[in-house]
Structure 1
Amino acid sequence: MELLGSLVAFGILGGAIGFLFALAMYYVLSKEDVGNERMIEIWKAIREGSSAYMKRQTKTILPFSAVMSVIVFVAVYLGYKARLLGAYPQFEEEVLKESALVGISVFLGSLSSVIAAFFSMDASTRANVRAAAGAIKSSQRALRNSVLGGAVLGLSVPSLSLLFISTIYLAYSAFFGASIQSPITLRFVLDSMAGFAFGASLSALFAQLGGGIYTKAADIGADLVGKLEASIPEDDPRNPAVIADQVGDNVGDCAGRGADIFESVTAETIGAMMIGWATYYILSNAGLPIEYSSKFMFLPLLVSIVGIAAAIPGILTIIMQKKYKDPIEPMRNGVIVSSIISLILLPLLYKYELPDIWLNLYIASIVGIATGIVMVLVTNYYTGLKSKSVIEIAESSKSGPALTFLSGLSVGMKSTIIPIVTISIAILASFYALYAAPLPEVLQNSVGGVNLSRFIYGIYGSATATMAMITLAGIIMTLDGSGPIADNAGGIAEMSGLSEEVRERLEPLDALGNVTKALTKGYAMGSAALAALLLFQAFVQDYVARDPSVLYATTSGISISLAGFANALMNFLSGLVVTKPVILISILIGAMLPYYFTSMGLRAVTRAAYMMVEEVRRQFKERPGILEGKEKPDYYRAVDISTQYAIKNMIGPSLSMIVTPLVLGILFGGQAVGALVVGATASSIVLGIMMMWGGAAWDNSKKYVEAGNLGGKGSPVHEATVVGDTVGDPLKDTVGPSLHILIKLLNTISLVFIPLYMLYILQALFP
């Protein structure tokens, strides 16, 4: 218990220190000037609209999560009762404890994700007006205030995740009386924690999808009627949808992304700990010291601390750099500093904790960090303001919006090649980094010609790469959060009538914000792809560990048979073959799910945008004084439309993604669920990259024209690119980012409901 407690206590300490730094950034930001009365009036409208939406969203998410918690408790208990308690009735108390804790964990995970989203939204709505006021003094002050707001997000979200995970681990360990001498009690703890990851993913999907629907409905309504029909500039105060558009930046790009990153870090950390349990279990059976083998399970917590420690100097580098030609320079320098610090601290950590395999772990970590950097660079290659792809779309727009659409679609499809190859290489390289580690071959079984022990070590290598990649989450989240803050600042400056000089200082930051948002989405999708393998293997190993055939009774309780575990794992993996009709069908259903989810998401945006367009048209028609600047638009009616449709339409797509694997698992068993997850993961990664990068390319082709190229603003080419941007916006900001959450949601669902999948109702017909 001493080692378990001390290692996890480091996680609590690291999370607390990171959160204190976030609060320090928050305090420094709060002392900045908020500008004149008109700026404050607009800021309050944006802040009130954001808060109102978040409160309504929370009133939907938390009751839904509470109901889901009860369903999970009942489902897990009934699954165990049907397949386990008949053979091991003495297991009743542990089953009740685990079932209850899994259910409670779902609600706690959802609540924690909501807290992360609220904190992110609050920081962004405090920073936006301060960034605008900072621009009155200098462009550097505006950048500083934007980054301070982004830093609150970047530090608080991973810190809260680490703090919550470490705390519930200690609490659950005490509840079960867990010990590193008892693998099965540690398994109870980790199985219960899977509910926390599921709750966080569920809440994040609601937040990202709902926020995305909100922001894109407002954005499309503002653009189609304001820019194209009324020919008024972006962020013009005469546009009734302009406040809703600004609110959307906060609830979609900040609050939604905060919940997204929280669930990413949470699910990947818990998944890595579950993978570490299998390594700990087989090594402890090989006679290695328990204190040594258990470190594999707790190492992900220590890696998370490295990520927080690396983010702080990177953020300070951005804030303190005062001289630069382009605002991308300090941001690039911040990422470089954080990456270097991660690469320095990780080998020191590995050499201290696991000295005999530190180099293998470090190689896997280098692969993970390199993958994150490559994903960022490739994103810029395809979507950067001066990239060939963006200019190609703009040139195509000379012939009208049809070719704008086709060329953007082509860019999106083409942009999948390098990321998929990069992810594939990363998976192989990280797998073989630990496959070759000097660890004993405890199990004599083999899968695909690979020794089963080495297979498990290799999977731990992929988990290590994933954890190393998310050490960059803090600095990447900082860049991502600063984007919508700068965008909001530009809107506040425009609406409050600040001078042309001030607005010109904010324009490069607005353009940079679009770049950073695209870059972080590329990073997030790469992280999700690596996490998918990690979580899938966690599901496989957890399913096998819960199989009644691997358990046996002892005088002190229930234990796990090493030989039984190895045989069950072999049987499960050997059954995942496409020659079995059920497996092939499950893969196809899984591949279909992201398309169905995308369809429902786009339909929701379309409906909400239609109502927004009609509302803006109605106000212009019934109150002509608005366009003349004599009347004030009814901003709150537009805000209410976006809120209403976002809340209404975020549940259906999410619910369908929960029900499908449940039904499939109950009917066809765990292997079918595993196949469904594989199909959905492959489909989501490719579709998500295509939509996010295609959408970003459409967006920047519009900005390329607005910069004065090909006729500039108001030209036919500009109108064509506005149409392309309108199509691309919901792809890159609503459904695209939601897909990498969907990947992890499906994986965490598969983990939580394992006892239910063991029912396998149609096993007699489809063995």
Structure 2
Amino acid sequence: MNAFMFEIISIVIAFIAFIFAGWLYKWVEKQPSSNAKIAQVGGLIRQGAKTFLNKEYRVLARFAGVAAVLILVFLPSPIWKGEYMQNILMALSYIAGTVFSAIAGKIGIQIATIANIKAAEAAKNGIKPSFMAGFRGGAVMGMAVVGSSLLGVSAVFMITGDTTALLGFSFGASSLALFAKAGGGIFTKTADISADLVGKVELGIPEDDPRNPAVIADNVGDNVGDVAGMGADLFDSNVASMAAALVMAGALDALSGAAINVSMVFCYAAIGLLASIIGVAMAKIGKHGSPTRALNSSTYVTTAIYGVLTAAATYLFDFSWRIWGACIVGLLVGVIIGIASDYFTDDTKKPVHYVARASKSGPAFTVLSGISYGLLSVLPAMIGIAVAALAAYKLCEPMGDGYAMFGISMAAVGMLSIVGMIISNDAYGPIVDNARGLAEMGNLGDKVLDITDELDSAGNTVKAVTKGFAIAAAGLTVIALLGAFMSEVNTAAAELGVEGLVGFDIINPMVFFGLLIGAAIPAVFSAMLMLGVDRNAQRMVGEIHRQFDTIPGLKVGDPNAVPEYDKCIEIATNGAIKELIPAGLMAIIATLGVGFIGGVQAIGGFLTGNIVSGLLLALFMSNSGGLWDNAKKYVESGHEGGKGSDAHKSAVVGDTVGDPFKDTAGPSINTQITVVSLVSSLLSTLFLTMSLF
């Protein structure tokens, strides 16, 4: 079989994923729902999510339009040099990346705002039907995102035959993901923090009490941040890992005159999607089963299926067992990092219990203990990424020049091979979180609330695991993109007859200059996003106070007193749109500044610093945020004094601090790292020829 056949097979499996997603969508849609109040509130959530997404996409379309024109003029080389067809292909690939990413987010919102209603009502019949409605709703997103990424990469490569065009496609996906994740994160945490501070802390009313004017905005935020945003994020990671692997595979195949490495990338990626389809189809839970165990066992089943199928393909098509080994190392390390994240965030484990106990002494101790455990949680994941990169490098090093870095890229492909299942688990979280809110607003009773609380707790735990997985995968992907950057520089250097890159010496002042600036960017980027949440939340808290003070009977629960939910949705939407662009632009402008001042050596240092600092901050913020959230839920379930106690108030404060950590800044950093890596690769020729030093 040649590479073309594997590309065709990849496209066929992508369409199978779309057909399966369509079946799951119809299954969820057919589940019974009859509660008028839930239907009304669900409609408000769906409308709010659509309104935000439409506004956000209009702003991002303008950004993408400007970026596409700049790419057309300057990339891969200035258009006036005569190779205008390459520039056109690059610009079209970029636009395709943004469109595919946007469609994935739109599909996620569409199903999530149906599945939340179905999961809430299904809880009346027990945990099993409610879990299945939530999980299969999330699986629609999983199948759509991975199917789109595999179809997009295969189609762009088939049409252009150019790996640099793939970097353009990946940059389109990454740039949209960066702003979608940042905008969705600012929206969701603005509403969540405001609702919690005024509702729970000041007034002592339940989390999803319909009296709270911010409660609908909070539920909308779960969808635009955790469904559309995370979907775009993992779409971007999956595309970037394949693009980096194919850039290096193409360079290696050009030297050997065969297409074995390109074939292997497509084969392994297609098998990953197939394994996820099988894993989702096999997922189940007993009548009194544990949702956390059901979600985790689905991941382990998918992992095992992938390992067996790729081993069979390696044997059948005579691929390299060393590269298969690198791929499996990445996959296993991804699972191990997930388990480490689970230990620090699961409400059955000691760290959560300790933070809940510390909350009895006041919010300062909640924050201090949460930060400490968050910092501790970084070590296992960083060791995992380091071991995966080193093992993949050493496994493939004996194969010859270029294969060591290609091994790292294949470890990233391996880690992201089961991303269809990972997204399914991740999207399940906000769906059941919404279902819990709908159950409370629809007065479905304590039994239903207990079931949805259990599902929501599992969703929080799994969300922490999937965020850790996504960050680790981004870590390996950007190390592979560093290899892709070197590959692009060396190709351009050979054409220009100048010296290429063999590595980056940190004693070199140019490399060190880039290293220090690159290390600072994730911290500044995080601060800008969290300050955006801070400013926006303060505006919303003022609006909630205004409504409680001016709408007669609202505070005491008069049935005729209806909050102005749309005002809070409007504040969250406008604030998020205003705040989402500056942080992303700052990261891109800093990359351009370092590249045009210090050249490719400085960019090597910049990317290295950005990767290390970004991974550390992203893991710390995601895990500490998940820890605070589950410590609050642990107290609310009756431990350490239960609801209304001093420990509960302290735990809510900790959760409020953790919200922008885990849902705004933390998961956005890995997209920021990917974006600057892709900008560096795309502009490598310009940095090589037009730097100040």
Evaluate the alpha carbon distance shift between residue 300 and residue 77 of structure 1 in structure 2; reply closer, same or farther with a 3 A threshold.
closer
Secondary structure, counterpart of 2:562 in structure 1: coil
Match of 2:502 among 573, 588, 594: 573
Please tell me the residue identity of whatever aligns with 2:196.
D
Amino acid at match of 1:196: F
- The answer for the alignment partner of 1:131 in structure 2 is 119
Cα distance, 1:10 vs. partner?
1.5
**Counterpart residue number, 1:311:** 276
User: Once the 2 structures are TM-superposed, how far is the Cα of residue 636 of structure 1 from its aligned partner?
Assistant: 0.5
Report the equivalent of 2:641. 711
The answer to whether the 8 A contact 1:79-1:759 is kept is no
What one-letter code is carried by the residue in structure 2 that aligns with 1:410? S
| Cα distance, 1:697 vs structure 2 | 1.1
Q: Within 1, Cα distance between the matches of 2:478 and 2:318?
A: 26
Question: How far apart, in 2, do the equivalents of 1:214 and 1:393 lie?
Answer: 27
Q: Cα distance, 1:592 vs. partner?
A: 0.4
Contact 1:493–1:503 (8 Å) recurs in 2: yes
Q: Tell me, what secondary structure is at the counterpart of 2:184?
A: helix
| 1:154-174: CA deviation from partner (whole Å, max 9, x where unpaired) | 11101111111111222223x
Of 302, 306, 311, which residue of structure 2 is paired with 1:347? 311
Return the offset for 1:195: 0.9
Distance between the aligned counterparts of 2:364 and 2:441, measured in 1?
33
What is the Cα deviation at residue 640 of structure 1? 0.5
Shift of 1:361: 2.3
Cα distance, 1:698 vs structure 2: 1.2
Alignment equivalent of 2:412, drawn from 461, 466, 486: 466
1:155 matches 2:84: no
Which structure 2 residues correspond to residues 248-263 of structure 1 after superposition, within 5 A? 248-263=221-236
Contact 1:350 1:361 in 2 (8 A): no
Counterpart residue type for residue 610 of structure 2: A
| Counterpart Cα distance in 1 of 2:20 and 2:269 | 15
1:737-748 correspondence runs (5 A): 737-748=667-678
Show the counterpart of 1:231.
Answer: 204
Q: Distance in 2 between the 1:34 and 1:208 partners?
A: 31
Query: Structure 1 residue 680 and structure 2 residue 610: aligned?
Result: yes
Deviation at 1:317, TM superposition (A): 2.3
Q: Deviations over 1:20-54 (max 9, x none)?
A: 11111111111111231111101100000001111
Q: Which amino acid aligns with 1:22?
A: A
Deviations along 1:511-551, one digit per CA (max 9) or x if unpaired, are 1111111110011111011111111101110111122x446
Q: Deviations over 1:557-597 (max 9, x none)?
A: xxxxxxx7xx944xx125x2122212111100000000110
Residue type at the aligned position of 1:395: R
Larger Rg: 1
CA shift digits 1:103-155 (9 cap, x unpaired): 22222211111111111111111110011111122211100100110110111
Deviations 1:30-85 (A, max 9, x none): 1111231111101100000001111001101111101111112222266586xxx5
Which of 344, 350, 353 is the matching residue for 1:382?
Answer: 344
Residue correspondence of structure 1 range 153-232 to structure 2 within 5 A: 153-173=141-161, 189-232=162-205
User: Equivalent pairs: percent with the same residue?
Assistant: 35
2:689 is paired with a residue whose SS is: coil
Tell me how far apart the structure 2 counterparts of residues 429 and 660 of structure 1 sit (CA, whole Å). Answer: 32
**Distance in 1 (alpha carbons) for counterparts of 2:241 and 2:331:** 15
Do the aligned partners of 1:314 and 1:333 also contact (CA within 8 Å) in 2?
Answer: no
For 1:651, the equivalent position in structure 2 comes to 581
SS of 1:119's equivalent in the other structure is helix
- Distance of 2:293 and 2:523 partners within structure 1: 38
The separation in 2 between residues aligned to 1:5 and 1:260, in whole angstroms, is 28
Structure 1: how far apart are the matches of 2:625 and 2:6? 43
Amino acid at match of 1:14: I
Contact 2:212 2:563 in 1 (8 A): yes
Offset of 1:707 from its aligned partner? 1.5
SS of aligned partner of 2:418: helix
Q: Compare 390-399 and 727-736 and name the one that shifted more.
A: 390-399
What CA distance in whole angstroms lies between the structure 2 residues aligned with 1:50 and 1:152?
18
Contact 2:77/2:87, CA 8 A, preserved across alignment: no
Counterpart of 2:665 in structure 1 is 735
Tell me the distance in 2 between the aligned counterparts of 1:263 and 1:708. 40
Q: Which runs of 4+ in 1 moved over 4 A?
A: 77-81
C-alpha separation in 2, matches of 1:41 and 1:371: 44
Change (3 A) 1:77 1:300: closer
Q: Which of these residues, 423, 434, 439, is aligned with residue 493 of structure 1?
A: 439
Could you tell me how far apart the structure 2 residues matched to 1:168 and 1:425 are?
33
Query: Comparing 385-394 with 589-598, which one deviates more in the overlay?
Result: 385-394
CA gap 1:750/1:246 in 2 versus in 1, 3 angstroms = same
Task: Name the SS for the 2:289 alignment partner.
Answer: coil
Corresponding position of 1:592: 520
The structural deviation recorded for 1:354 is 3.0
Letter of the aligned partner of 2:584 in structure 1? S
CA distance in 1 between partners of 2:435 and 2:653 (Å) = 25
What is the distance in 1 between the residues matched to 2:574 and 2:129?
37
Inter-partner Cα distance in structure 1 for 2:288 and 2:553: 44
1:754 and 2:677 are equivalent in the alignment = no
> Equivalents in 2 of 1:407, 1:322: separation in Å?
36
d(CA) in 2 for partners of 1:78 and 1:140? 57
Distance (Å, rounded) in 1 between the aligned partners of 2:649 and 2:3 = 61
Per-residue deviation at 1:384?
1.1
How many residue pairs end up in the alignment? 691
149 and 245 in structure 1: CA distance in 2 versus 1, 3 angstrom threshold: same
Paired with 1:590 and 1:10, the residues of 2 have a C-alpha distance of 40
Helix, strand or coil at the partner of 1:669: helix
Shift of 1:216: 0.3
Deviation sequence 1:589-624 (CA, Å, 0-9, x none): 000000110110010000111011111111011124
Aligned to 2:75: 76
Q: Is the 8 A contact 1:35 1:130 kept in 2?
A: no
Residue pair 1:77, 1:96 contacting (<8 A) in 2 also = no
Deviation digits for residues 674-721 of structure 1 (CA, Å, limit 9, x no counterpart): 211111010000011111111111111111211111111111111111
How far apart are 1:277 and its partner, in Å?
A: 1.6
Q: Paired residue for 2:36?
A: 37
Q: Alpha-carbon deviations, 1:473-522, whole Å to 9, x = none?
A: 11111111111100000101111111222222211001111111111001
How far has the Cα of 1:663 moved from its partner? Answer: 2.1
Aligned to 1:298: 263
Contact kept? 2:73, 2:79, Cα under 8 Å? no
- Which amino acid is the alignment partner of residue 117 of structure 2? V
Is 2:616 the partner of 1:691?
no
Give the residue type in structure 1 aligned to 2:383. V
Matched, 1:16 2:4: no
User: Residue 537 of structure 1 aligns with which residue?
Assistant: 483
Deviation at 1:353, TM superposition (A): 2.6
Partner of 2:533: 605
Q: Indicate yes or no: 2:213 matched with 1:240.
A: yes
How far residue 751 of structure 1 moved from its aligned partner, in angstroms, is: 1.6
> Which stretch of the first structure deviates more once superposed, 202-211 or 658-667?
658-667
Give the stretch that moved more between structures: 71-80 or 494-503.
71-80
Which one-letter code corresponds to 2:432 in the other structure? A
1:742 alignment partner AA = Q
> Please, which moves more after superposition, 577-586 or 720-729?
577-586
Runs of at least 5 residues in structure 1 that lack an aligned partner in the other structure: 86-91, 174-188, 285-289, 442-452, 552-563
Hey, what's the Cα distance between the residues in 2 that align with 1:194 and 1:62? Answer: 19
User: Taking structure 2 as the reference length, what is the TM-score of the superposition?
Assistant: 0.97
Q: Please state how far the C-alpha of 1:332 moved relative to its aligned partner.
A: 2.2
Contact 2:127-2:287 at 8 Å conserved across structures? no
Q: Which residue of 424, 432, 454 corresponds with 1:478?
A: 424
Secondary structure of 1:235's partner? Answer: coil
